[in-house]
Amino acid sequence: MKKNMYSLMLAEDVVREVDRLAAERQTNRSNLVNQILAEYVSLVTPEKRVRNIFDVVESLLVPRGSGMFSLGAGGMTMSYKSALSYNYRPTIRYEVEMYATPRRTIGQLKVVFRTTAADLIVELTAFFRLWMRLEELYVGRYFGDDGIEYGLDSGRFTRKFALPAGREYSEAEMGEAIGGYIAAFDDMLKNYLAGKYRTAADAESDFVRRLDAVSVII
C-alpha cells in the first residue's frame, strides 16, 4: 500500500493521546493515525492484516507458558523468546517478519541464538540441518520447483514463509500455520537437545506425527 506525506491540522490534546496510544502499541504517530483512519473507512491496511495474523500466533504460543511473546515496533514483526534446558539456560528467539506486499513468499522466520558454548553451537547446527532435511523430504514438494528457502549463518537460522503452490490462506490460517510451525520447531529442538531422539529415525517419526496433525503448512 503506497504512502504519501500529507499535512494535517490536529488539536494538541488529540496528538498527545495519539502519541500515548502509539507508545503503548509500539508504533509511531503516523502509523497509528493511518490505522485509525483506515479502520474508520473500513480499509484493511498491511499493518492491520499482519496484526490479525499475529493475534492468532500469540493465541497459540502464549498458552505454552515456556516463552515470552512480543510485537515489534511498526507492527510488521514479532518475536517469541524460549529458554533451552541447557547449561546456563540460554535462550533462543524466534523472530517473524511479515512482508507488507506479499506475493507467494509472505514473510521470514529468523531463529536467533547467542552463545559461546561450542558444544551447544554444534548441537544447534546439527538440529537445523536435520530439520531442513525433514522439511525437504516431507514438505518441499508442496512449494513447487522453488522449494523452501533457508539460510544458516553464525548464530542464526532463517526460513522463508511461503504459501504452497496453488493455495491461498486466510489471516487466521496464516496465523495458525506460523504459530504451529514455531511451536513444533521449538518442541523438537528441545527434545533433540534433551537426547529424547535416540536416532534420526526417531526425530523423523515425531516430525511426521506433527505434520499429520496440522491442516495448513507454510
Residue type, 72: G
Strongest mean pLDDT among 64-68, 85-89, 160-164:
160-164
Q: What is the CATH number of the domain that holds 146?
A: 3.30.1460
79 vs 69: CA distance, rounded Å: 6
Amino acid at 32: L
- Tell me the C-alpha distance between 26 and 45, whole Å: 17
Mean pLDDT across the chain = 91
Same domain, 109 and 21: no
And the C-alpha cell for 136? 525437504
Query: What is the pTM (predicted TM-score) of this model?
Result: 0.85
Whether residue 7 is contained in a domain is answered as no
Q: What is the mean pLDDT of residues 68-81?
A: 91
Query: What's the confidence (pLDDT) of residue 25?
Result: 76
Whether 27 and 82 share a structural domain: no
pLDDT at 35 over 70: yes
DSSP state of 100: S
Residue 6 lies in a domain: no
Same domain, 34 and 118: no
Total tally of structural domains belonging to the chain? 2
pLDDT digits (tens, 9 = 90+) for 45-63: 888 899 999 999 999 999 9
User: pLDDT tens for residues 83-97?
Assistant: 998 888 899 999 999
